[in-house]
Amino acid sequence: MAAAGSTKDRLHGTLDALVLKTLSWGPRHGYAIARWLEDTTSNAIQIEEGSLYPALYRMERKGWIDAEWGMSELGRKAKFYKLTTQGRRQLKLETAEWSDFARAVSVVLVPSN
Query: Which residues fall within 8 angstroms of residue 25, CB to CB, at 6 or more apart?
Result: 36
Q: At what angle do helices 15-23 and 4-12 cross, to 10 degrees?
A: 70
Q: What is the CATH number of the domain that holds 11?
A: 1.10.10.10
Reduce the DSSP state of residue 67 to 3 states and report it. strand
Q: Which domain holds residue 88?
A: 4-105
> Tell me: the pLDDT tens digits for 12-49?
678 999 999 999 999 999 999 999 999 999 999 999 98
Does the pLDDT at position 69 exceed 60? yes
Q: What is the pLDDT at residue 72?
A: 86
Q: What is the pLDDT at residue 2?
A: 41
For residue 112, is it within any domain? no
Cα separations in angstroms, 28 against 2, 56, 96, 101, 105: 28, 11, 24, 28, 32
Q: What is the pLDDT at residue 26?
A: 96
Predicted TM-score (pTM) of the model is 0.83
Query: Which residues fall within 8 angstroms of residue 53, CB to CB, at 6 or more apart?
Result: 30
> Tell me: the pLDDT tens digits for 94-110?
999 989 988 998 999 99
Residue 100, beta-bridge partner list: none
Q: Report the number of distinct structural domains present in the chain.
A: 1
Q: What is the pLDDT at residue 58?
A: 96
For residue 19, is it within any domain? yes
Reduce the DSSP state of residue 83 to 3 states and report it. strand
For residue 18, is it within any domain? yes
For residue 95, is it within any domain? yes
- What is the Cα–Cα distance from 8 to 79, expressed in whole angstroms? 25
For residue 113, is it within any domain? no
> Tell me: the pLDDT tens digits for 73-83?
888 899 999 99
